[in-house]
Each structure stands twice: as C-alpha cells, then as structure tokens.
A = this chain, B = another copy of it.
Amino acid sequence: MEEGTLKSPGHMRDTVTAPAPAAPAGEDTADCVADYPYDVKQWDVREDCEVRQILDRIADKWSLLVIALLDCESLRFTELRREIDGISQRMLTRTLRHLERDGLVSRTVHPTVPPRVDYALTPLGSTLHATIQSLVAWTERHQSEIVAARAAYDAREAREAYGAPGKEHEG
C-alpha cells in the first residue's frame, strides 16, 4: 500500500499557531461582517482539523468529477472510466474506494460471470452532490471571465517584461 488507510501520526508539525479557536457551531455566511475585533476565523484551518482533511478529499480533482457525474443513477466502473476523460484505472479505483470509505458512494457487486459493479451516491453523497453542482455551475458561468482575466494577466506580465528596468540584460 502506498497510502495507509489508518495513518494518523507522523506528519504533524508542532507549530500550532492557533491563537483563537474556531467559532462554535453555526456557519455564518454573512459577507463583509468584520465586526469582531478578534482575528478569529469562523472555521478551523489547522492541519489536524477534521474539516481540513475532509475538505482535502472532496476537493480532490477526481472525487469532484465522480460525485458530479454520479448524479442519481448508478454507473458501472467502465462507464465512469469512459465518462471521465483522462482518468486511469488506478485513480478511478482509488477515488471510488475513498468515496466509499467516506460514505459518499455505495458499491454494489453483482456476482455474475462477467463481474459487474455499480457505483451510486449514498444519501449523504447526494447532499454533497448538490453543493458540488453549484461549484460546477459557477465554473461554467464564469469560465469566460476567467479566461479573459488570464489573458489580461499574461499580457500585462509580458508587457512589463519589456519595459522592466534592470530586468532585461540584453546587449
């Protein structure tokens, strides 16, 4: 195994620079409400925090795609692989295992002669799917803006490379 399933220790830093603990339960999505005099963050971003770990996993490239793709009906292994362009068999297997372990997808094995395994979202996974979808929707809506921003950034950078004093060293 290249990645143990039960590994917990060994990667922790002793730098616990957490001056203020996270706010209690209750997510506050109110924007621009910097009323608190503290430097408090509304959610824990420490490495040893569960949320960080989970966020890390569901924000994973392949996990995101799998969840987004598994809308409601179940898909077979090969179907998923066909849908997600560029994923290797290995990565799909690993991703599905992780999602299954996290209780987000269910794995159903049919004991037929040609093996058949169906993957579907669990009820928990379905709730996540909604959020993932909004992320995908956002990307679709704003992709042109991002592409434009990139072009502008690159153009400005290239321009500054010309007139940058002390930067160029041509004879």
Identify the A interface with B (CB < 8 A).
1, 3-8, 11, 13, 15-19, 23-25, 27, 29-34, 39, 41, 43, 45-47, 50-51, 54-56, 58-61, 64-65, 68-69, 71-76, 79, 82-86, 100-104, 106, 108, 110, 116, 118, 120-124, 126-143, 145-150, 152-154, 157
| Cross-interface CB contact of A47 among B7, B51, B86, B142, cutoff 8 Å | B86
Cβ 8 A contact of A29, one of B65, B103, B130? B130
> How many copies of this kind of chain does the complex include?
2
Minimum Cβ distance to chain B for residue A126 (Å): 6
- B29, B43, B68, B139: the one contacting A54 at CB < 8 Å is B139
The 6 closest A-B pairs by CB, nearest first: A103-B149, A32-B72, A47-B86, A27-B106, A8-B133, A27-B137
**Closest Cβ of chain B: how far from A82's Cβ, in Å?**
6
Which of B79, B86, B108 is the one whose CB lies under 8 Å from A23? B108
Given A16-B75, A58-B139, A102-B146, 13 other A-B residues pairs in contact with their CB atoms under 8 A: A6-B130, A8-B130, A8-B133, A16-B79, A17-B85, A29-B123, A43-B140, A45-B65, A51-B140, A59-B60, A104-B146, A128-B142, A131-B138
Residues of B within 8 A of A54 (CB): 139, 143, 146
Cα–Cα distance between A78 and B116 once the two chains are bound (Å):
52
The verdict on A133 contacting B27 (CB below 8 Å), with A41-B69, A59-B61, A146-B102 known, is yes
